[in-house]
Amino acid sequence: MTSIEKKYNELKDKINYYASKYYNDDEPEISDFEYDMLMVELRNIEKEHPELIAKDSPTQVIVATGKVNEKFSEVTHEVPLQSLQDVFNLEDVNDFLNRVEKEVENPTYCVETKIDGLSVSLEYVDGVLVRGSTRGNGLVGEDVTENLKAIKTIPSKLTEKVTITVRGEVYLPREELDRINEEREALGEKIFANCRNAAAGSLRQLDSQVTASRNLSVFIFNMQSIVASTSSRHEITSHYDSIQYMKELGMNVIPYSKKCKTIDEIYAAIKEIGDLRPTLPFDIDGAVIKVDDLKQRDELGTTVKVPKWAVAYKYPPEKKETKVLDIVIQVGRTGALTPVAILDPVPVAGSIISKTTLHNEDFINEKDIKIGDTVYIQKAGDVIPEVVEVLKNKRTGKEKSFKMPTMCPVCGAPTERVEGEAVVRCTGIECPAQLFRSLVHFASRDAMDIEGLGPAVIEQLLDAKLISNVADIYSLKKEDIMALERMGDKSADNLINAINKSKTNSLDKLLNSFGIRHVGGKSAKIIAQSFEDLDAISNASVEELASIHEVGQIMAESICEFFKNPQTKDLIKKLKSAGLNMKGLQKEIVDNRFEGMTFVLTGTLPTLGRKEASDIIEKYGGKVSGSVSKKTNYVLAGEEAGSKLTKAQELGITIISEDDFNKMIK
């Protein structure tokens, strides 16, 4: 393999990976600009070496840009929802115009804002919204009708009884992104990287109430198809007229659409949109130049991936120079220590930036960022400001290196960085900085299951200074709770009863509620079944813990470190005084017919839930594993079984259905 072939394959695989993270997982790992530049590099290689073009190249395959989530029903688009060819300079725009003018006579164009959101199709029959779907891979999308109906700017009925399919972009206003990210950060959840990321995550929810709470909006930008006999209009012949017509039907159409004839008019429109960009309350990532006449569009046609009658001009990210005045530490709700650069305030993409996250210790070292450095910053995805370059030629010698603290700046507990991870964390369970998250997790359904003690109530209790650690929950009195907003006599009684009830929970619930890193509900149950009480667990060695089935070295070390911490010892002492159950969990064994056997569950079973099936196996003395190996005795497989089933077949493991399983336990 030549060096250019190797480079091409690495670049192709890298782009496909980043595309999957962006479109399928809604978790972008690089900025749009960085992704676009990788695509430019790939196209240049393919232009110079067409013999290298692979079938799975992201320039060739439409499915590289999204797949249908199995949670939703599939929708086949009658008219494909294609992506656009991106261009990055005015010379490329001119090349596009020249190509068009060689194919059709006297074309006119529309220049529009390119909204940065999630593309959707809306289908109306006789003026009534009957179905809405995501773009998916352009050919097949996801049916998200109920979620789209929850968006206020999507009309359920049009002003005319027309049968029409339109394409729009679901987006999230910037103010909403700030509000949602504040809430997610407070709960210890990962924040959305940008408005598009948040819009996609909000629309692809199984619960439409979650979608409704996010205050999404939509802009309609294309008429996909229309049944002429249902329209009161004469035949629509231009894109610009279709936009005006959809607006008359009651749709929230694209906010900027300008008809242009000459190249100078097109350049002026692109500049005008670029100047508007910082002032808009929503994100745009470019300007779209489209042929206006619909018949001329048909003449120009499309490729597999993109129409030949449109391109998207992408604006370069705005970079500004500023100075790192200091680097401070923020302790998050999960105990993560995040370094934050305090900057000399500078305007970037419509807002004044005075600080930015430096992510972690590795990021600082890779960029070689020092206190006092002059740096370039830009907004990643036009939302989150980020240091992109240190201007080392401007160093004076007075700059200071930064080191992550070995003690938590909030509570003084030791910090730790687990091997293989980039994050440094506070080890203190009573650290005020992570108290809210600890309390929410402690009271959650999978932990102590204290009904009525949700995030809103916990926040009120903290604000009223009625609790300052987990153990304080068990000191609450009825009158304390009644003093809270919207908490009457009955609500207070119910919460006190739920708190008292949680004292009798099994030990695995308590273990899980501690939020020990790497320990979840399943492993907590296994550990609770392996020791006499909590004291025995807290005094166990790494070797003792690691020898337990499905615990292992990393989890064992995490458990030992947790119980060594003085804050943990103090908390356990308080919980004992409050009367919580600390006794080990006895396995409920019906008989030992599955003793020594290991089962793996995969897919969806007809009647049994995964937890229910696991409990049955354990009652008969068996073990349930999360992965298939040569030691696996049976794989219990249901519908849509994935890689575990394939591996079991390769290893010759016995595969059973739910019917087979029921025969085994009768």
Query: Which amino acids are annotated catalytic?
Result: 114
- What are the C-alpha distances in Å from 208 to residues 75, 147, 178, 214, 577? 18, 5, 21, 10, 44
- DSSP state at residue 434: G
Q: Which residues sit opposite 347 in a β-bridge?
A: 352
Query: What single-letter amino acid sits at 400?
Result: K
- What are the C-alpha distances in Å from 299 to residues 78, 97, 104, 288? 20, 15, 8, 19
Helix, strand or coil, per DSSP, at residue 288: strand
d(C-alpha 409, C-alpha 403), whole Å: 13
Q: Which residues sit opposite 337 in a β-bridge?
A: 331, 424
Task: Find the farthest-apart pair of alpha carbons in the chain and give their distance in angstroms, rounded.
Answer: 87
Candidates 365, 166, 312, 141; CA nearest to 253 is 166
d(C-alpha 584, C-alpha 264), whole Å: 78
- 219 neighbors 251 (Cβ within 8 angstroms): no
Run of H or E including 635: strand 634-637
Run of H or E including 180: helix 174-186
Candidates 180, 188, 514, 191; CA nearest to 333 is 188
Question: Following DSSP, what letter does each residue of 227-278 receive, concatenated?
Answer: -GGG-SSPPP-BHHHHHHHHHHTT--B-S-EEEE-SHHHHHHHHHHHHHHGG
Question: Following DSSP, what letter does each residue of 546-588 receive, concatenated?
Answer: HTSTTTHHHHHHHHHHHHHSHHHHHHHHHHHHTT---BPPPP-
Residue 197 CA, distance from chain mean position: 7
